[in-house]
Amino acid sequence: MTIAVAISGGTDSMFALLSLKEQGVPVFALHAHFLPRSEEREHALAAMCNTLDVPFHAVDLHDEFERCVVEPFLDEYVHARTPNPCALCNARMKFGALLREARTLGADRIATGHYAVLRHDPACGTVLACGHDPAKDQSYFLSLVPEQALAQAVFPLGRQTKVAVRAELTRRGLVPAYPGESQEICFVPNDDYRAFLRSRGKVQETSGPILTVSGKRVGSHSGLWHYTEGQRKGLGVAWHAPLYVIRKDAHSNTLVVGEKEHLVSNGCIVRNVNLLVPPSLWPQQVLVRTRYRQQPFAAQVADLVSGTRDNGTAASMTVRFTGPRTPPATGQICCLYDGQGAVLGGGIIEEAL
């Protein structure tokens, strides 16, 4: 079985490549240019692979990345949501377009440097679960990847820790081409998403009211895309107590704010649900993450519409939290787990309840 290893030049993908090669697995390195092609970067990656005596290939997927990740990112902000482009990239690009290219080049599977675990279950097929390093677990960002694609994936770092990975490369005297940590959104310069949105001409400084939860007008905003649920700083409103963004009403172009006591939600409606375990096998009480840096908390699922496993998707579901939580941001990912850390499914948050 030949495995293509997706490499970025960083620590994680280099170790994934090295570990599979040392196991005697036939491998080749595959780099995707999601951004405009860089010959300098390509030469550096080729040199790194030459050091490891591994064949290197590069594919230009810039146009597809623009269409499948960047444009939806812009569109979500236009509609006053806060998107998660990394989750979309995993589903559409790394385990979509790049997997397609890997198979064209002769690979049977694709490996990445994600910190997540895959295991086989006779009843469910391929099961995605949390990585063993709690500080680096990336199962949340993988929850939109269809089960059929995960069945062709390999995660060599799933049972590793970041500290151990760095130590192993150091012990071998190996230095990645780009050892620094990747920035959060690769296509947004300097992590300034507001400047990026303006540069693309997709958003407008459209003024609208800022209202308290009781309906009192306390100011004006210059565009809902500037804000996200739970935000405290940068509201520009004088009040006797700290104010937070409670919700954004795109229909009326209204920003609703309130004090901390109002910053509560009992659940959320989730759309475009990717089912990784048949709902009939879900426990009555599941665990949920509505953002990445969050400990999973208890919830129940109701109103799962068209929840069949035939096509691996459901139109929507309602997730009811067992206790009040901070309102999740619309456009972010809701990832469901069982008590053993297996991912049951994931979808995009449409509305906080």
Which residues are identified as catalytic? 89, 186
CA–CA distance from 139 to each of 104, 291, 325 (Å)? 27, 12, 21
What is the Cα–Cα distance from 136 to 330, expressed in whole angstroms?
A: 24
CA–CA distance from 271 to each of 2, 144, 154, 258, 317 (Å)? 36, 11, 27, 27, 7
Rg (CA), the chain: 22
Q: Are 72 and 319 in contact (CB under 8 A)?
A: no
What is the Cα–Cα distance from 334 to 350, expressed in whole angstroms?
A: 10
Write down how long the chain is: 353
What is the Cα–Cα distance from 334 to 319, expressed in whole angstroms?
A: 9
> Sign (positive/negative) of CA torsion 227, 231, 233, 238?
positive
> Sign (positive/negative) of CA torsion 294, 296, 301, 307?
positive
DSSP state of 342: B
What is the Cα–Cα distance from 153 to 164, expressed in whole angstroms?
A: 22
Q: Are 139 and 130 in contact (CB under 8 A)?
A: yes
Q: State residue 33 phi and psi, 5-degree precision.
A: -85, 95
Q: Are 185 and 193 in contact (CB under 8 A)?
A: yes
CA–CA distance from 184 to each of 5, 8, 187, 279, 335 (Å)? 21, 14, 9, 32, 19
